[in-house]
Amino acid sequence: MAESTPVAEEKRESLRLAKNYTYDKWRDALGVPVHKGYYIQDLRTVELGYWKERDCRAAFIQLSGMEGISEVRVTEIAPGETLRPWKLAVDEIVYVLSGRGLATVWRGEGDDRKSFEWQPHSLFVLPRNFTHQISNTQGDRPVRLMHYNYLPIAMSAMPSPQFFFNNPYDPTQDGAETSSLYAEAKVVQRGDDPGWNPYYWYGNFFPDMQAWDKLAALTARGAGGRSVQIQFPDSEMSCHMSVFDPFLYKKAHRHGPGRAIVIPGGEGYSVLWEEGRDKIVVPWQEGSLFTPPENWFHQHFNLGSAPARYLALHPLKQFHGYSERIEDRDRQQIEYPNEDPSVRERFAAELGKRGLNSLMPDEAYRDPNYQWGK
């Protein structure tokens, strides 16, 4: 029987108040739709509402595992329109869901402005304390952008929401410059560790994540996967994208909270579960979004005839497991020989509905050190 004592009620109230974040109160007061749950089937069609302060249609996404850590929102810009200039006090990653347009970023009055064009599947960063303006250069259709940042954390540290919008603070005091913004990304060596990506890409504009082909083998996660690790300049934000071939699936693993996973291309499903609890199946396609809650195992399956791609935007590094790397594989990753047989049975059944067969090699289920591609 559940507790019903005054002490128990006090505990419940304390827990409720602990999750009553400044960010949530600010966001809810806007009157803009807030979508919750474990996944969004397609951000390109999710319901939007009018956001008066930005004079555009938008929606906020708060999936289980994002609370108090990361913000995801969708912005729509009408055909041929330009949003009002806006300045945000935190770094923000933008992923283009649909459409084409122009972004202009500047530091202050009289500063040289940096403009660049974007297209579907572009990924770029709007640096903190820089003013930006975004335009839809198409005259016949709206565009949709997905935004990701750490505003919930920042508002918990500074519980004055208006501090974060159009603050007159001058980023030149931090040595911020526009000259290197949106230059070509550069590759940086980060070590030699078998099974993991040996380098990362350093930049803040990536033209097309659906076509990005500068990938390194990620054998430790299985399925013959490849990945690109991305670090954004002068920011503690980062991300990675994994790619794996048709009719294969990755090893189950878990990490910290707040990550947002969006699909640039492919068709399949992922399974999310807390250890010892029921599993949640997340079907995905281009434009889908999901978040594994903290320390929930999750596993990705490619049902399509083309390589599948998932782009994972990372929360700040203070959160355990922020990177793709896992230090303790015995606890945080399930090797194929150790997984529940129902995993491969479900995969075979889903492929069978399409008249297809799994390409998972039998040896991978026997040898935890099976070497893909050999």
Interval 257-311: pLDDT, tens: 999 999 999 999 999 999 989 999 999 999 999 999 999 999 999 999 999 999 9
- For residue 117, give the nearest of 130, 104, 131 by alpha carbon: 104
How far is residue 238's CA from residue 252's CA, in Å, rounded to a whole number? 22
- For residue 359, give the nearest of 275, 277, 234, 246 by alpha carbon: 246
- How confident is the prediction for the chain on average, in pLDDT? 90
> Would you call 182 helix, strand, or coil by DSSP?
coil
Question: Which domains does the chain carry?
Answer: 23-163 (2.60.120.10), 186-365 (2.60.120.10)
Question: Do residues 127 and 236 lie in contact, with contact meaning Cβ atoms separated by under 8 Å?
Answer: no
Taking residues 51-67, report their average pLDDT.
96
Instruction: Assess whether pLDDT exceeds 60 at residue 162.
Output: yes
**DSSP secondary structure string for all residues of 44-104:** TT---EEETTTTEEEEEEEETT-TTT-EEEEEEE-TT-BPPPEEBSS-EEEEEEE--EEEE
Instruction: Assess whether pLDDT exceeds 70 at residue 341.
Output: yes
Interval 195-204: pLDDT, tens: 566 788 999 9
At 92 the pLDDT is 98
Interval 89-116: pLDDT, tens: 999 999 999 999 999 999 877 678 999 9
Instruction: Assess whether pLDDT exceeds 50 at residue 324.
Output: no
At 13 the pLDDT is 46
Tell me, letter by letter, the H, E, C secondary structure of 219-265.
Answer: HHHCCCCEEEEEECCCCCCEEEEEEECCCCECCEECCCCCCEEEEEE
Give the bridge partners for 281, in sequence order. 271
Q: How confident is the model at residue 12 (pLDDT cuts 50, 70, 90)?
A: very low
Global confidence as pTM: 0.91
Taking residues 69-87, report their average pLDDT.
97
| Inter-residue long-range contacts of 113-116, CB under 8 Å, 24+ positions, other chains counted | 113/178, 114/178, 114/181, 114/182, 116/182, 116/205
At 291 the pLDDT is 96
Q: Which residues contact 275 (CB under 8 A, 6 or more apart)?
A: 295, 297
> Would you call 324 helix, strand, or coil by DSSP?
coil
Taking residues 19-39, report their average pLDDT.
94
Q: How confident is the model at residue 172 (pLDDT cuts 50, 70, 90)?
A: confident
At 328 the pLDDT is 55
Residue with tokens 């419940």: 12
At 52 the pLDDT is 96
Instruction: Assess whether pLDDT exceeds 90 at residue 149.
Output: yes
At 14 the pLDDT is 47
